[in-house]
Structure 1
Amino acid sequence: MRTIFKLYRAFLASSLAFTLDTLYLNWNTTFPAVTVCEIYNGEKNWDISENYFGVGRDHRIDDYVADITFFSGKCHTCSYCEDIACPTNFEELISNFRTACRQLITNCSWIGEPFDCCSEFRPLNTEYGLCYSFNSLQTEPYSDLKFINNRETGPGSLRFALSEDTQIHVHPPNDIPYMMSEGVIRETVLWGSSKEIIFNAVEILNDPAVKIFSPEHRKCRFYNEIEERGENNECQ
């Protein structure tokens, strides 16, 4: 009986393993998601605020709106609302103070082929506010992940232009960028500058038999096992 128990414990401890497959050169490799988030521009926001609230506004409103529409992890100015009437129409504020996709992202191409930017950079709500994500499974409608690279296509190459200061996140298609994201490339691109990001993508595939094991045992969930999209620890 003790021997059987030891074998069972050994099976639980080593029933899942990572191995390298040299056939990867024949596979399609999925391009990661690329999410573009506009960042705060004080001069631009001052002009918008003046048009939206008027010249005679309490200027503390400007700081409050900046905290709400370009969230950085904490609302430092929410205490102002004890003294002033802070607006609570958050969706309208975001619509007015953040740049729409058509004005923000232009001149898109995939491996040299132009495409309509906002057909593929789709709205994605994040901790940073409304962003636009390319090749993401978290957008609605979902991306169909047709952006792949293999021996025939060569390395994937995504190019686009931006009209505002932004932060770019390169991450797995299943993920949503957030403040404490791990394993994510995060780059700030200021207006008038250029940025080239070169990376190596490693695709992780699961044998169908992995689904036999419970999520608690494998310590991850497949995409169709997650009720709330965006949950961490997803199986690839």
Structure 2
Amino acid sequence: MHEANKNAFGDIASSHLPKLEHFVFFDGTMRYIEACDVGGAFRDRCILNNYSEYMTKFRSSCSEIIGSCYYNGVEFPCCDEFLSIGTYHGPCFAFNSLFSGKYKTRDQLSFKINRNTDYGYGNLSVELLHTGLLVYGLSQDAVPTKDSSRQYVLVNSASKSIVPATYYKAFLSVEETFTDENARLMSIENRGCRFYDENHLQHSKIYSMSTCENDCLVEAQRSVCNCTVHTLPHNKEVRDCDYDGLLCIIDNALIAQKSRSCRCVSSCFDVEVKIIGFTNSTGMRNEM
């Protein structure tokens, strides 16, 4: 990334401009606005568009992020199961997710998290090859959203200080509720939930509450600024924001108001994941 910044900006001091990684890992904030704004001193040297291309080019692949993987003590090929999905933060690698495209229904999921005599508690061990990562604990039908960082992050490089040769362990409580298939005879309004295939979203192939929240945010941004942030999953009808579009979106109260007014109902198969404990110790282990 350092070399990419040098190629993009030449001899201009990096402190004067947003760095390339700011757009590759866009977090909803913007620095050095004056330098790149219309009439700014360095606007002709700023990265003003094509952010999704940079995101695709410079983000790490699965094999560059994840090393050895074990589930209930049995090793499996990491990148056969950690697959790319669209999230608020851009593409992330998800394990046992309905949004990966590998599985169509919950019954097809390869890894069971239910506590029973066949599977036990469900114990996943993963070697991370980078330190600057966010690790979430989510259900099979959930994706990271703007607000999920505060509730579902297991390991955050900013707050947990991921360091090499350190073993992190998170203890999760999983509560599953489901609605009988016969409830399909009732209206969605009466039963108060949607099945996966009852999908009315424009930017996701499967319905869940979290994808509904991301979908609402995309539509709110498009309504107000005529574009959406490149990290958010969206269809081809919505254009990525350029630099001026990002400025329109950042801290826009009208967008926040519109996205909050969208009504997202629960999934009819709901899994609630809670973090009940967290420990760390030095010395990386290969399996649990």
Which consecutive unaligned segments of at least 5 residues does structure 2 have?
Answer: 205-210, 213-263, 270-288
Q: What do you get for the CA RMSD once the two structures are aligned?
A: 2.6
SS at match of 1:216: helix
Deviations 1:4-27 (A, max 9, x none): xxxxxxxxxxxxxxxxxxxxxxxx
Aligned-partner Cα distance in 1 for 2:149–2:129: 28
Query: Aligned-pair distance for 1:103?
Result: 0.8
**How does 1:76-95 map onto structure 2 within 5 Å?**
76-77=31-32, 80-82=35-37, 83=40, 84-85=43-44, 86-87=46-47, 88-95=49-56
Structure-1 residue corresponding to 2:147 = 180
Q: Does 1:147 align with 2:111?
A: yes
The equivalences for 1:16-165 within 5 A come to 45-50=1-6, 52-53=7-8, 55-57=10-12, 59=14, 63-77=18-32, 80-82=35-37, 83=40, 84-85=43-44, 86-87=46-47, 88-142=49-103, 144-148=108-112, 149=114, 150-164=116-130, 165=132
State the TM-score, normalized to the length of structure 2.
Answer: 0.59
Q: Could you list the runs of 4 or more consecutive aligned residues of structure 1 that deviate by over 6 angstroms after TM superposition?
A: none
CA distance in 1, matches of 2:200, 2:153: 27
Structure 1 equivalent of residue 171 of structure 2: 198
Contact 2:96 2:140 in 1 (8 A): yes
- Higher mean C-alpha deviation, range 179-188 or range 86-95: 179-188
**Equivalent residue for 1:225?**
198
Instruction: Look up the SS of the partner of 1:108 in the other structure.
Output: strand
Q: Give the direction of change, closer, same or farther, for the CA distance of 1:56–1:138 in structure 2 (3 Å limit).
A: same
> Which structure 1 segments of 5+ residues have no match?
1-44
Partner of 2:138: 171
Q: Deviations over 1:58-99 (max 9, x none)?
A: 525863423311122333455543232433232331234322
Name whichever of 63-72 and 132-141 sits farther off. Answer: 63-72
Write the distance in 1 (CA, Å) between the matches of 2:122 and 2:111: 8
Match of 1:213 in 2: 186
2:267 aligned with 1:234: yes
Kindly provide the CA deviation profile for residues 171-199 of structure 1, in whole angstroms up to 9, marking residues without a partner as x: 12111111213895213142413321111
Are the counterparts in 2 of residues 169 and 184 from structure 1 also a CA contact under 8 Å? no
TM-score of the pair, normalised by structure 1? 0.70
